[in-house]
Amino acid sequence: MSSLYCNGTSRNLSRKASSRRGAVTLEFAILAIPFFMWILFIFELGYDLFTQEALDAALQSAVRQIQTGNAQGVKTGNDFINSYLCPAARGLLECPKMSISVSTLDATELDYSYAPMPIIQLKGTNIVPFDDAKGGAFCNAMPKQLVLVQALYIGPSFMAGLLPRVFSATYNGSWAHPTLSTAGFVVEPYVASALGTGAAPAC
């Protein structure tokens, strides 16, 4: 009799353990999706912050060459990226994913005015780099001019495929995340050389 009781108890315990394991599996399945989405969101946020800091630092270093007159001979955005912005990024960003817009501003003592500048160029849900966007010209500056520079970096987006209504920008058919960096400054009164006497073609 005691043997039958023990066997019945063992079977009950085994069923309870199996049921508990099933419950744990179900709980994990319910929580796993939001948990991994949260991890992916943190990863993308960290990547975005890293990209922003790297682009800001690279742009500040690169525009210093315009401000001091060292980039007088540069006539196009691609030349500026290859000669100054990309080296300043120190390999942290992919150079082909960068674009630049450099414009001079007309300033007075009381007010200033400038042509509308592109912030993030979108056509539908597609990102348009500054090089391909109207108003995204490269206009090298002369001494004592006020300059506005915008750099755009198009990096990957890891959450866009999961939340397309929230992260919906695309570039070349793939989900992408645009990062913008802006710098404004007055060009120092350097002595213009023969390289800098003429305005860039886009001015």
Q: What is the mean pLDDT of residues 26-55?
A: 85
46-54: long-range contacts (C-beta < 8 A, 24 or more apart)?
A: 47/155, 47/158, 48/155, 48/177, 48/179, 50/92, 51/93, 51/153, 51/155, 51/177, 51/179, 52/179, 52/181, 54/89, 54/92, 54/93
State residue 110's pLDDT score: 43
State residue 133's pLDDT score: 60
State residue 195's pLDDT score: 54
pLDDT averaged over every residue in the chain: 76
3-class secondary-structure state, position 18: helix
Q: What is the mean pLDDT of residues 120-134?
A: 69
pTM of the model: 0.76
Q: What is the pLDDT of residues 5-34, one digit of tens each?
A: 445 555 554 555 555 666 667 777 778 888
- Count the neighbouring beta carbons within 10 Å of the beta carbon of residue 196: 19
